[in-house]
A and B are shown apart, each in its own frame.
Chain A
Amino acid sequence: EAGVTQFPSHSVIEKGQTVTLRCDPISGHDNLYWYRRVMGKEIKFLLHFVKESKQDESGMPNNRFLAERTGGTYSTLKVQPAELEDSGVYFCASSQEGRGTYEQYFGPGTRLTVT
């Protein structure tokens, strides 16, 4: 069974540009989460999808971040315009519904560098 995949693995962009990160969850997982780790600090929750609906977006830092999950399969996270403080590693995770919700499986992350 394939794990959570993320694309790209690395992205280097200039301040003010736009970047779109993609996450493909484990097949059959209705729950999809985005987290990020900034500057070696703790990993922080951004948002949670259940299928195509946003269940919890309390961690989204500001309106420069837009997450979508059309069709309830893969998800994209767009940052527009990017700022220096957006640099970090963006992780995606997925989990099953019901009891499986307690097991979140993470992807390898996308390292974003804003210069």
Chain B
Amino acid sequence: GEDVEQSLFLSVREGDSSVINCTYTDSSSTYLYWYKQEPGAGLQLLTYIFSNMDMKQDQRLTVLLNKKDKHLSLRIADTQTGDSAIYFCAVLSYNTDKLIFGTGTRLQVFP
């Protein structure tokens, strides 16, 4: 079945860029997502990219997609302490509406 993998932890200094990586197995995935979960809160849809795109930028967020390597990344520029959260990568399973999630990457931002 489909599988989505992420590293568990990332620690960065405030003001630096953060890059969270994700790999997936289903080459027919049409949409790929990044969700953010802050402590005690639900999942916030941050951004998503359609599979025919290589890059999408939205303010401090840049999503890069390498379809050949089945690799998705989220870059956060000028990382702030408020960006500390768990970031989930997810792909839309082919021909269904169900999201396949990774285990989440916990981003810790220190001053």
Chain A residues engaging chain B, CB cutoff 8 angstroms: 4, 31, 33, 35, 40-45, 48, 55-56, 58-59, 91, 93, 95, 101-109
Instruction: Give the residues in chain B near A93, CB-CB below 8 Å.
Output: 43
| C-alpha gap A95/B98 in the complex (Å) | 11
Contact of B104 with A42 in the complex, beta carbons under 8 Å: yes
Contact of B97 with A4 in the complex, beta carbons under 8 Å: no
Instruction: With A45-B98, A103-B48, A106-B42 given, name 4 new contacts (CB 8 A).
Output: A4-B42, A35-B99, A104-B99, A106-B44
Contact of B42 with A42 in the complex, beta carbons under 8 Å: no
The residue of chain A having its C-beta at the shortest distance from the C-beta of B92 within the complex is A102
Kindly count the residue-residue contacts between A and B in the assembled complex, taking CB atoms under 8 Å apart. Answer: 58
Contact of A106 with B43 in the complex, beta carbons under 8 Å: yes
14 contacts between A and B (CB under 8 A): A33-B99, A40-B103, A42-B4, A43-B90, A45-B98, A48-B96, A48-B98, A56-B98, A95-B97, A103-B48, A104-B97, A104-B99, A106-B35, A108-B40
Q: Which of B42, B44, B99 contacts A109 (CB 8 A)?
A: B42
The residue of chain A having its C-beta at the shortest distance from the C-beta of B98 within the complex is A45
The main secondary structure of chain B at its interface with chain A is: strand
B88 contacts chain A at the CB level, 8 A cutoff: yes
Band of interface residues on B: 20 to 34
Contact of B42 with A108 in the complex, beta carbons under 8 Å: yes
| C-alpha gap A41/B3 in the complex (Å) | 13
Instruction: Give the residues in chain B near A109, CB-CB below 8 Å.
Output: 42-43
Given contacts A42-B4, A106-B35, contact A91 B98 (CB under 8 A): no
